[in-house]
Structure 1
Amino acid sequence: MEDLPVGLSDDELAAGLARFGVTGTPVYAPLGFGDYHWSAGDHFTSVADLTAKPLDGLRQAMETTASLSALPFVVAPLRADDGETVVLLNGRYALSVFPFVAGEAGTFGNPPPAGVNELLAELHACSPPPHTPAAALDLPGRATLAALLDDPGEWFSTSAREIFVAHAEVVRARLTELDRLAAALPPERVVTHGEPHAGNVIRTADGLKLVDWDTVGLAPPERDLWLTGGQSPFYALRWSLDDIAQFIEKLRAPHERSRDAELSMHYFRTTLEAL
């Protein structure tokens, strides 16, 4: 995120970092479009907004990632003073801390570097840790989309409402198509990363590293492979519909004009147009 999180103080962040033994002044890193990140010496932090990412699911994902740390390409979370991989900063935000990885990061939208599929093959072949979550097939934001299809209501952003209404029938048709494609998925379930796109791959002196494991879960291999050159109409469509639902939540919430709000509107429009 490019904007700083609303409702999180510097003191709350510092107190959370201290529980991981991290001191000094963290430097904000405007990366990605979901969590908030700071670099702090030899550490890299990820702060999740619990209104969008439930705490129990985040903890389960981080514990799974910690259990996968024997795989050389897994950048796993560190543990706090009480052994937890996720620490509450306040009622809305939670912190995870990782070792800082020196290297060249990719960019979302670009092809992943050569060798990523070999890492994924190793991941898919590993024995799942006992607490590995199942990656849900259903669309997390389906209820939001369904409610707005029935009644767009009054949004905070009138222009966002108008864009959605103009594409409502396409969204409705794609939801039906998603259900049809889900029924045809193979039964195989393996440990998947969930988002192994170029932006989550770092090229280092020790080889490729995969970061951002909060989407780890048991699923068909196609959940990963469609992002690295494979084919999966289900997961490609699910990604687009999930993006639309997430942008809806950002655009419905009251906010001041900001770079993140502008990006949300841009990607909301372009994703709908591409359905």
Structure 2
Amino acid sequence: MRERPRGDGAPGDTTVLRALRAWDVDAARVEYAPVGFGDHHWTATAPDGERWFVTVSDLSDKPHCGPGTASARDGLSRAMDTARALRERAGLGFVVAPLPTRDGRTLLPLGERYAVALFPHLPGATGEFGRETDPARRMRTVEILAALHRAPVPGRAPVLPSDPAGRAGLERSLGDLGVPWTGGPLAEPARELLAGTPVARRLAEYDLRARDMRRRGVAPVLTHGEPHPGNVLWQGTRPLLLDWDTTAVAPPERDLWQVALEPGELDRWTELTGRAPDAGALALYELRWDLEDIASCVAFFRSPHAPGADADLAREGFARAAGRLATG
């Protein structure tokens, strides 16, 4: 998130510094890092210059990890444990996994609503959210996804639910289109925008596509969930995958639709895995992405919010997803 967490119990610099003691990290300072959308981030620096990347998650806003804060905490813990197992046991060096606390945990609660994970601070540069425009980078991303999809599934790996994250709240909002929305200055514009989108029809289409995929028996693997360029850190020609909170057992097309732009670009994945992507599943997970984007933005605008960088990002994302649903 571009803005610090707000409200009662929201963690600040002092809370983060204190939490780092669970990793035996005695940081000289922490600085808020205004990057990404969804989680809050800090960089921590030791007196000798060693650095770490701190991620603080608002469990009330992690529907893909579970409904409610307790369920989301468990789901996020399982995801972090999965990433650690992929790196340490499966030997997948491209996985940027959380560091364990002194007692072996990958996730530390910060009160009831928040949780913190610690990562190494790595050199390199990420791309921009969207699809990678460099063909060589797309191919390398396809190759590491093939390695992920061939890996044994760790025992604590989450399983992707059949419904898009946030669907229940989105359907409630569709039922509330006839009454004014509150929450902040963008609540009413969001209601008007949602009223002009074919979300209900696309949800029904999603259900039909999902049933069709299940009939075809598309086999699941361990997926990352969001392998877009913003989550790929490049160290020269070496890609590293960041942000594993969305990892789950699901058909591989959940990842693949995000990386290919040209016909035949997934042939390399077929060569490495021995199976061909399912065209229907690719379309299903692209649709699911837009529905989850819409659900997340609607939840944001119906909750207390103020004008600012995060609201601007949510508004832009809402408009993009609404446009794709209207033209898909």
The TM-score normalised by the length of structure 1 is 0.94
Q: Does 1:130 align with 2:146?
A: no
Deviation at 1:240, TM superposition (A): 0.3
- The 2-side partners of 1:96 and 1:166 are apart by 39
1:232-260 CA-to-partner distances (Å, cap 9, x unmatched) read 11001100010000001110111222211
Percentage of matched positions with identical amino acids: 40
Q: Alignment partner for residue 102 of structure 2, among 52, 58, 81?
A: 81
Deviation at 1:271, TM superposition (A): 1.7
Alignment correspondent of 2:250: 219
Greater shift in the superposed pair: 48-57 or 82-91: 82-91
- The 2-side partners of 1:127 and 1:110 are apart by 27
Q: Is the 8 A contact 1:160 1:251 kept in 2?
A: yes
Alignment correspondent of 2:44: 40
Q: Does 1:166 align with 2:214?
A: no
Task: State the one-letter code of the partner of 1:34.
Answer: G
Q: Is the 8 A contact 2:13 2:31 kept in 1?
A: no
**Long gaps (5+) in structure 1:** none
- The 1-side partners of 2:113 and 2:37 are apart by 17
Q: Alignment partner for residue 264 of structure 1, among 314, 318, 322?
A: 314
SS at match of 1:97: strand
- The 2-side partners of 1:206 and 1:238 are apart by 31
Deviation at 1:66, TM superposition (A): 0.7
Runs of 4+ in 1 over 4 A off after TM superposition: none
Please list, as runs of the form range in 1=range in 2, the aligned pairs for 1:161-200 lying within 5 A after superposition: 161-167=191-197, 170-185=198-213, 186-200=217-231
**Long gaps (5+) in structure 2:** 46-50, 63-71, 261-265, 267-278
1:154-187 CA-to-partner distances (Å, cap 9, x unmatched) read 31222211111222xx111100110111122243
Greater shift in the superposed pair: 107-116 or 65-74: 107-116
SS at match of 2:155: coil
Task: State the one-letter code of the partner of 2:145.
Answer: L
Task: State the one-letter code of the partner of 1:188.
Answer: A
RMSD of aligned Cα (Å):
1.6
Deviation at 1:212, TM superposition (A): 0.5
The TM-score normalised by the length of structure 2 is 0.79
Please list, as runs of the form range in 1=range in 2, the aligned pairs for 1:1-275 lying within 5 A after superposition: 1-6=1-6, 7-22=10-25, 23-41=27-45, 42-53=51-62, 54-69=72-87, 70-111=91-132, 113=137, 114-152=139-177, 153-156=179-182, 157-167=187-197, 170-185=198-213, 186-205=217-236, 207-229=238-260, 232-275=282-325
Deviation at 1:206, TM superposition (A): 7.8
